[in-house]
Amino acid sequence: MKLSELAQKTATRLKGEGNKEIHFIKDVNLLKGLPEKNTIYYVESRKYLKSHPEVSQADAVLTTSELEAHFTNALVCESSEARLKFIALLEVFAFAYKPQERLSAQAYIHPTAKVASSAIIYPHAVVLEGAEIGEYSEIHSGVVVEPFAKIGKYTVIHPNCVIGYRTQIGDYCRIFGGTIIGADGFGFYDHRPGERYKIPQIGNVVIGNHVEIGANCTIDRATIESTRIGDHTKLDDQVHIGHNCQIGSYVFMAGCAVLAGSVKVEDHAIIAGQATIAEGVTIKSGAILLGMSATQRDLEGGQAYLGAVQAMPVRLMHRVTSLLMDLPQIVERISSLEKIVETLKNQSKES
């Protein structure tokens, strides 16, 4: 792509040779020796110039107006927008490849499925009865879109995902490889010893717009209605969301976080890596549950939480947990008693 085309796609100001061919983007922090040819680098601050002065010889950079004098060819933006323009540049490279064949002859698409004219279906993808694929969406190889699932526009489903029966996914979403959406919820009933019944899970999963779900995640469908994930929520790899969960908008969940069934996570909450939330718990808006923490209680919003303890008999654990909640008050009372004892000792000595 020519540098002038990159300037147009990223809405930046072009400095220098617009016909310069750009084939690659590289990390300035890994630069050793002279910059590679036909390559663009991102230089957002003077520290990069100090640590890698040779970047000034690059064929092209994305940089700020304060630094543009150091470069011959550049895409220039204001410093307040530098990260946004960097994201735009990465998006150009991320989605540059498109297959020559829009609907692969090696894919299976049911006659009743509705696939938009601009959508792309890769080889060995399967789109089943009544499924809908929106404009400019992509279904990669090995994906199975089960009956009556609906996928919005500009959404990409990466290889080997399963989009379950009646699942709904919004616009501008990214679902990465191996993720299963709409799996059966974990519901069983033991009527008496030796009699275990599976509870049918007849609901679905509903996912909003601009949601990103990492690789090898699992999201169970609801027992009756919908497991939901709100707009702009981002899930890392290997996250599990149990049946009936209700996840708000702008939520972050890091790798290996686990939600049991019927958990509610409100808007702007953060669930860090390997955190675990018990069934039916509510995480209020803006709460942060730090890494490797666990909770069996609702968490109020606007503050961070940390804690996980060694497993012990349940009744003892409940007593310990209750005492831990009261520990600050207990310490204050002990401190007050110590002061009283010290006062009495001094009085006794004086008398």
What confidence tens digit (pLDDT) does each residue in 234-254 have? 999 999 999 999 999 999 999
Q: What is the arithmetic mean of pLDDT over 269-276?
A: 97
* 312 compared with 28, residue with greater pLDDT: 28
How many other C-beta atoms are found inside a 10 Å radius of the C-beta of residue 303?
10
The average pLDDT across 73-90 equals 97
User: If 0-12 CB within 10 Å is exposed, 13-18 middle and 19+ buried, where does residue 86 land?
Assistant: middle
- The predicted pLDDT at position 348 comes to 83
- Detail the DSSP E strand segments found in 37-85: 39-43, 60-64, 74-77
| Tens digit of each residue's pLDDT (9 = 90 or more) over 43-63 | 999 999 999 999 999 999 999
**Cβ proximity of 29 and 13 under 8 Å:** no
Report the pLDDT value the prediction gives residue 310, as an integer from 0 to 100: 64
DSSP run (H or E) holding 91: helix 82-94
Q: What is the pLDDT of residue 320?
A: 85
Tokens 């590679």 found at: 36
Identify the CATH class of 108-305.
mainly beta
Burial 177-188 (b: 16+ CB within 10 A, else e): bbbbbbbbbebe
Check whether 278 has a pLDDT greater than 70. Answer: yes
Break the chain down into helix, strand, coil percent, rounded to 5: 20, 30, 50
4-15 average pLDDT score: 97
DSSP 123-190: TT-EE-TT-EE-TT-EE-TT-EE-TT-EE-TT-EE-TT-EE-TT-EE-SS-EE-TT-EEEEPP--EEE
How confident is the model over 99-111, as a mean pLDDT? Answer: 94
- List, for residues 299-348, the tens digit of each pLDDT value: 999 999 998 876 778 888 888 888 888 888 999 999 999 999 998 888 88
Over 80: is that where the pLDDT of 155 sits?
Answer: yes
Q: What is the pLDDT of residue 100?
A: 80
Which strands sit side by side in the sheet containing 264-265, from one edge to the other? 114-115, 132-133, 150-151, 168-169, 204-207, 226-229, 246-247, 264-265, 282-283
Task: Examine the pLDDT at 270 and tell me if it is beyond 90.
Answer: yes
Virtual torsion, Cα 53, 59, 65, 68, nearest 10 deg = 50
193-224 burial: b if 16+ Cβ within 10 Å, else e:
eeeeeeeebebbbbbbbbbebbbbbbbbbbbe
Scan for tokens 């008496």, then name that residue.
192
* Residue 243 annotated to the active site: yes
Is the pLDDT reported for residue 97 higher than 80?
no
Give, in order, the Cα–Cα distances in Å from 319 to each of 311, 315, 323. 13, 6, 6
Task: Say if CB 131 and CB 113 are below 8 A apart.
Answer: yes
Q: And the tokens for 50?
A: 């100090």
Percent of the chain with pLDDT over 70: 99
Query: pLDDT tens digits, residue range 179-231?
Result: 999 999 999 999 999 999 999 999 999 999 999 999 999 999 999 999 999 99
Judged by average pLDDT, the poorest of 74-83, 122-131, 136-145, 317-326 is 317-326
Model pTM score: 0.84
- The pLDDT value recorded for residue 185 is 93
Mean of the per-residue pLDDT values of the chain: 95
Which of 158, 240, 243, 268 is an active site residue? Answer: 243
| Both structure tokens of 198 | 């599976």
Q: Which of 10, 8, 25 is nearest to 60 (CA)?
A: 25
CATH number assigned to the domain covering 3-94: 3.40.1390.10
| 164-193 per-position pLDDT tens digit | 999 999 999 999 999 999 999 999 999 999
